[in-house]
Structures are given as C-alpha cells and as structure tokens.
Amino acid sequence: MKKAVDHTKPKRYGMVIDLDKCTGCGACMVACFAENNIPFKKDESEKLLSITWMRVYKLSNKKKYPDTDICYLPRPCMHCEGHEGHSPCVSVCPATVTDYSTETGIVSQIYTRCFGCRYCMAACPYHARYFNWWDPIWPKGMEKMLSPDVSVRMRGVVEKCSFCYHRYQRAKDKAYVEGRPDIEEEEYQTACTQACPARAITFGDLNNPKHKVYELKQDPHAFRLLERLGTNPKVYYVSSREWVRKSGDNYLRHEEPGHIETKH
Amino acid sequence: MDSALIPKGVKRCSLGKFTLVIAVAGAVLLWGVYAMLLCWIKGLNQTNMNNYYGFALWIWADLAVIALGGGAFFTGFLKYIVGKDELKHIINYAVLIGFICYSSALLILAIDIGQPLRGWFIFWHANIHSMLTEVAFCLTCYFGVLTIEYVPLVLENRQLNKVPFFHNLAHNMHGIMAVFAATGAFLSFFHQGSLGGVAGVLFGRPFGYREGVFAWPWTFFLFTWSAAAYGPSFTLMCTKILEKASGKQLVKDNVVDLLAKISGWMILTYIIAKIADTIYWALVTAPSKGHTLMDFYSNNPVYGIWILVLEIVIGGIIPAIILVTPRTRRNGYLRMAAIILGVIGVCANRWVMVLQVMAVPVMPFDFWAMYYPSWQEVATTILPVAYGIILIALSYRYLPIFPQEPELNPVD
Amino acid sequence: MFPGFFEWIWDGGHMLFMGALWYALGIIGLGLTYCIFKAAIETAQGKGKGHGEEHH
C-alpha cells in the first residue's frame, strides 16, 4: 500500500514539563487512561502490574525537616530518537513491531504484530512500556464508552504512550479536508497536556520555532532524563531546583549536571 | 521383556525398575506440563513477572540450558573439524544432551511469549538488527542440525537397524556428519553469541551494556566462548551421573581426560577475557553513564559482590586451574568438583546477564526490582530436567550411545 | 524473511543476515536430501540387509 506523499517538513513532537508547576494530582494519568482505553483489573493495588502510559513519580531530596522537598514528575513515553532513529526499544524488537517515525518523531507500536517477548520492556530504562498480563475486561456498559479511535489491546502484547497519535491522525485528516498542508499547534495536543490543571505540560513540535516547546526546551534549567545513556528523549523537564535537575541522571560524586564529559 | 530392543553386548536393568524411573520422572514432568498449560490458557499472569521485571526464572533456565548444551556443538567441532578422534566415544551422548537442551529451550520460549500463536512472526516479520531475531533463527536451525545428528543414533537401535533403508540412511548420515557438524558449529557460534548480545546491546541498561566491535558487544564473543568452555564440562557431569546411576564405566579415562583438559583451557582463556571485559566495563563504560561498580551491588537485599566472586572466581578461575593442571585433573573427585563449580559458574553468569540486569534501577529515583518465581515458573523450569531424564533413560536403554561400553563392561 | 515481503530491503544487513541463513539452510537441506536419496537407491539395490546387529 503506497503512502501518500507528505511534502511538509519532518516534525519532532515532544513535551516540556515544568516540574515546579506539577502538583502530582494525577489528572494527566486519568485523562490518558480514558483517552487510550487503558485496561484495569478489579484490584489495582499491585502497582507493578498496572498499566500507566503516563505515570507520576514522587521524588524527594532525601533531606530531613525543615529542608525536605518533594517533586512530582510525570513520565510519559520519551519517544527516544537515540542515534539517528535508533531508539533503545526499536533496535531490539525482533518482529519490527515498534518503529521510530522520522516524520513525526513518534515511536509507534503495532499491537496485532507484537507476540509479547518483552525485550523492548527490558531495553527501556524509563519503564515506559507495559505488558498486558490479562485480557481487558470492561465493567458492564463501559465498552460503549471506549475511545473509538484507539484500538483495544489483548493479553500478551506490549503497549505504551503514543503521544495520542490518533489525535494527530484526526488533525491531519481535518487539515487535508480543509486543504491545508499542515496542522496548527493547538489542533494536535495530547490528552495529558489538556487535562493538566496547572498547565505544567506543554506539547508540540520541537523543531518548529512557532511552537511553545521550541522556546521552552532552550531554558537553561531544562534537562532530560538519563541523557547520558544516549537515548535522545523528546520529553524535557524544567525546574529551578538543582536537586531536581540532578535527579534526572546518574552522576559520579565529582560530576556536576551540565558538566559531563561525554564520549559519544 | 524388551531385550530385543536393547543393544547387543550390554546389560540393562529390569523393565520394572526402568518403568519406575520413568514413572517418577513422568510425574514431575506432568506437574510441569500442568503449569505450562496454565500459562498458555490463563496467560503470563500465572507468573510473578511484572512491568518492572519482565523476565522470569525460565528465561534464566533457557540461557543456562543453551550454554550447557554447548558441549554438543563444541565436541562436534573438535571431533569432525579439528580431528580429535577419541571424542567419538562421547559425541553421541553430547549430541543427546544438546538435543534435550535445545528442545527444552524452544519449549520454554514458546511458553514465555505473551502470544505463542504469533511466535512465527519473529521469522515472518524479522528485524535483522535485533539480537533476538538472530537467536530465534539460529536456535531453530541448530535444533534442526541436532535432530539430524540424533536421528542416526535412533536408527541404530537393534530392531530399527534391521530395516535396510534405516540402516543405509544412518550410515550415509554418519558419512557426511562433518558437514552437519561444521554447519552446526557456525550456527551455534551465532546464536550463543547473540544471546550475549541480547544483554550487551541494551544501551539503556548500563549494567548489561558493553561496548564491542561493529554491531557486536563483547558479551557476544564471551557467551560463545563460555558455552564452548563449560558445555563439555556439563557433558562430563552428565556422563558421571549416568555412570553412577547405571553402576558402569561408560567412557574410557583418556576420553574424559581429553575433554576435561580442553574444557579447562577454554575456561581459563574465557575467564581471562571475562575479567578484562569486567574491568573495562567497571572502570570505563559504567562510569561514562554515571555509575560506579558498587551501584550495581549495593542497596538491595540480594545482589552483592558475592555474585561476582561466585561467577568469576568460584565458577571460573578455580575450575580452570584444577582442569588445566594434570595432577588435579586426573583426581576423580577434584575433577568432578571443578566440573560442578564450572556448571554453577556459567549458570551464575547467565543469571547475572539477564535477571540482575532487570533488577538494577536506572532512573536515579527508581528502585531495585526484586523478584521470586511462582510455583508455575518453578514447575516449568523443572519440566526440562524431567524430560531430559526420561529421554536419556530411554536412549541409554535402547540405543548404542557409548561405543566403549561393551569393552569396559563385558557381558558373559 | 523472503525478498519482497513486508520490511525486506536490499541493504547490506539483509543480504548478509539472510544470505548466511539461507546458505546454512541450503547446506543442511542438500546434505539431508543427499542422504535420503542415496539411502533409497542403496536399499533398492539390496544393500543394508542383515546388518541389524551392528552399531557405531
């Protein structure tokens, strides 16, 4: 099947999350669950078995009162670019289920092709990938409320945040119908971005100077998680607090964030 | 009652006693089959895996069993390619062990994946850049080679060999066995290596990641080397177990000595390479990602420096020294102790490279993922052992596995 | 897996990996075919009778 030729410039969709604004309310998580038909069990107390495409971590500076400080960190999939499109998960998938798109920068997943080897889960240092240990069972009546644009996954396959790719497709379709070659910033926004009451999450094309994320990512206090590994993630975090920035990566005792000698 | 099936010139225990052995192993096998069916029907929620710990006990067993089954390809390589003719007296058993190990590995993989019916996608939609693709292809092909090597042995059963076609087929297969052995060695080199590559390419997991040459991390070569080194030791261990169980010597001392010596030198050269790789990783690779060595061996209830000592010193240096030194190698007790330590060492290595990798946290605010297996995982891991005992028992009883057995145990 | 199917592209990686695989499979297949055919011909020629008690 031939793909329609896209004459627009390649995009790199990404996020900038202001950790000084995040209150840890979890609205982003709930919005993601609803938008993407995330399955759940009756008993979700075993958190390591829960599927949380967006997950809010609680960080602490581990100091005693009165210097204790905490920070909430929302973690979607990082949609790592790696080195020239070699995301850690994309390189290892044996059945070409996951792919890095050079047009959007989004790492996709073909649920119907995944046979559940979980190698991609081993490769991901952010634990952004989740396995369907059970088949989804929707409470009676809920199957009518499922998001129609997002396919439901079955037992035995891996899933992860897609940057609400179905919304990108919907925006592209709308632009096509209206005779526009490209979509506007506000036409494609992820569910978590829109749900955040503190407006901590900003989403857009990191390549496009007209998008808010383009400027925000250049903040001197911006950092990415585990940058030293070479994953080249597309989610930037911003915090005025140095301990928060230092929590974004592993450092040897003598190293300071931002002053690392990198080999590659 | 079944004496017509037993090879000429050897004695076997009564059919009743034999049936008892099969029944006991069979009961354990059935327990494993039940657990296997639970996993297939109900799903992988039958295990204690979770989203932080996606590899189970049976994946360690999978890797360990493939490493230990490396005796088949390496003994074949030594016999048919290098020309160590004395090994023809143990090659049949090595092939049988290899057959059991690889069939077990394939079964475990069929249980481990979330969608077993889609397992063929690894071939049909192959990503040739993935280490796991290489594993799947070469493992399957090599299992085919092992089957080809095992079939002539089966056809040499006293009654089957009477059928002219079977006799001729076995004879012809033996005639070109060197071709199959060489192809098997080639395939083994790659799948043993790519199993090492599975951990070594994970640049998101500094504990497992290694630098290397071209697309191959150093763990690729280390895994092939360790399989060639420790596999023959496992063959010797299984030989000893069978000798104890049957109450007979099955292989002459010079054959055991030769294989033990080769295994010893392979272990020694491997462990030197492994130590060099570990030092480089600890002093250069891991610090470049912001980790010290002790980051991987502290702040958790299980993994400490003891596992590094177990793998390299107890499971590597000590057995190597015992096996390369003629005086200690020719002492039966020391030789067996070295062999057992070696088997433990390679199993520890496979555990570290797959299961410890999953446990180590990467994000600084993340936690160690501790894990213990569920009974279903234990049962499916023991299943290959029970299956192996049954197949060895059947093969030993009805097939001429050990050419020197009649000479060493003359029957009146 | 086969040229022209799904993600197959004629690049160095595919040619090396799949080339080596099909080469190895080819040798195994040819070897096995040779053994089976030779055994069938020899059986037809009457060879292999009365060898039931030999073993390697």
According to the model, what pLDDT value does residue C51 have? 57
- Beta strand ranges found along chain A (DSSP E): 13-18, 55-60, 70-75, 98-100, 107-109, 129-131, 158-160, 201-205, 222-223, 235-238
For C49, the closest chain B residue by CA position comes to B164
Residues of A in contact with B118 (CB under 8 A): 113-116
Q: Do B124 and C52 touch (CB under 8 A)?
A: no
Give the side-chain half-sphere CA count within 13 A for A41: 15
Residues of A in contact with B212 (CB under 8 A): none
> C41 to chain B nearest CA, in Å?
9
Residues of C in contact with B152 (CB under 8 A): 56
Q: What are phi and psi for residue A17, nearest 5 degrees? A: -115, 120
Task: Give A255's pLDDT tier (boundaries 50, 70, 90).
Answer: confident
DSSP string across B302-365: S--HHHHHIIIIIIIIHHHHHHHSHHHHTSHHHHHHHHHHHHHHHHHHHHIIIIIHHHS--STT
According to the model, what pLDDT value does residue C9 have? 81
According to the model, what pLDDT value does residue B70 have? 93
Asked if A235 contacts A213 with a C-beta cutoff of 8 angstroms, the reply is no
pLDDT tens, A173-204? 999 999 999 999 999 999 999 999 999 999 99
For chain C, the first-to-last Cα distance in angstroms comes to 39
Q: What is the mean pLDDT of residues A14-30?
A: 98
Of B44, B114, B122, the CB nearest to A94: B122
pLDDT of residue C25 exceeding 60, the answer is yes
Q: Do B122 and A95 touch (CB under 8 A)?
A: yes
For the four alpha carbons of A173, A175, A178 and A180, in that order, the dihedral sign comes to negative
Asked if B236 contacts B259 with a C-beta cutoff of 8 angstroms, the reply is yes
pLDDT tens, B221-249? 999 999 999 999 999 999 999 999 999 99
Instruction: Give the Cβ contact number of residue B294 at 10 Å.
Output: 11
According to the model, what pLDDT value does residue B366 have? 95
pLDDT tens, A210-243? 999 999 999 999 999 999 999 999 999 999 999 9
Q: Token pair for residue C45? A: 């020629």
Mutate to test the interface with A, among B121, B216, B285 (most CBs of A within 10 A): B121
What subunits touch chain A, counting only 3 or more CB pairs under 8 A? B
Q: Which residues pair with A158 in a beta bridge?
A: A131
Residues with Cβ within 8 Å of B55's Cβ and at least 6 positions away in sequence, in order, are: A118, A122, B49, B354, B355, B358
Q: How far apart are CA B179 and CA B199, in angstroms?
A: 31
Q: Do A95 and B121 touch (CB under 8 A)?
A: yes
Q: DSSP 3-state helix, strand, coil percentages of chain B (rounded to 5)?
A: 75, 0, 25
Residues of A in contact with B203 (CB under 8 A): 88, 229-231
For all residues of chain A together, what is the average pLDDT?
A: 93
For the four alpha carbons of C34, C36, C39 and C45, in that order, the dihedral sign comes to negative
pLDDT of residue A138 exceeding 90, the answer is yes
**pLDDT per position in chain B (412 positions), as tens?**
888 999 988 999 999 999 999 999 999 999 999 999 999 999 999 999 999 999 989 999 999 999 999 999 999 999 999 999 999 999 999 999 999 999 999 999 999 999 999 999 999 999 999 999 999 999 999 999 999 999 999 999 999 999 999 999 999 999 999 999 999 999 999 999 999 999 999 999 999 999 999 889 999 999 999 999 999 999 999 999 999 999 999 999 999 999 999 999 999 999 999 999 999 999 999 999 999 999 999 999 999 999 999 999 999 999 999 999 999 999 999 999 999 999 999 999 999 999 999 999 999 999 999 999 999 999 999 999 999 999 999 999 999 999 999 999 998 7
Residues of B in contact with C46 (CB under 8 A): 164
What subunits touch chain C, counting only 3 or more CB pairs under 8 A? B
SS3 state at A223: strand
Residues of C in contact with B168 (CB under 8 A): 38-39, 42-43, 47-48
Q: What is the ipTM of this complex?
A: 0.94
How many contacts, defined by CB atoms under 8 Å, are there between A and B?
Answer: 163
Q: Do B126 and C43 touch (CB under 8 A)?
A: no
Residues with Cβ within 8 Å of B300's Cβ and at least 6 positions away in sequence, in order, are: B359, B368, B370
Residues of B in contact with A130 (CB under 8 A): 51
Q: Token pair for residue C7? A: 């993600």
Q: What are phi and psi for residue A138, nearest 5 degrees? A: -90, 135
pLDDT tens, A61-106? 999 999 999 999 999 999 999 998 899 999 999 999 999 999 999 9
According to the model, what pLDDT value does residue A260 have? 53
For C46, the closest chain B residue by CA position comes to B164
> B347 to chain A nearest CA, in Å?
20
Q: What are phi and psi for residue B272, nearest 5 degrees? A: -65, -45
Q: Which residues pair with A217 in a beta bridge?
A: none
Of A157-166, B180-189, B374-383, C13-22, the one with minimum mean pLDDT is C13-22
Q: How far apart are CA B354 and CA B55, in angstroms?
A: 8
Task: Give C11's pLDDT tier (boundaries 50, 70, 90).
Answer: confident
Kind plus residue range of the DSSP H or E element containing B253: helix B253-280
pLDDT of residue C56 exceeding 50, the answer is no
Q: Do B55 and A122 touch (CB under 8 A)?
A: yes
> B362 to chain A nearest CA, in Å?
6
Task: Give C55's pLDDT tier (boundaries 50, 70, 90).
Answer: very low
Q: What is the pTM of this model?
A: 0.93
> B409 to chain C nearest CA, in Å?
16
Q: Do B122 and A115 touch (CB under 8 A)?
A: yes
Q: Is the peptide bond between A66 and the residue preceding it cis, with omega within 30 degrees of 0? A: yes
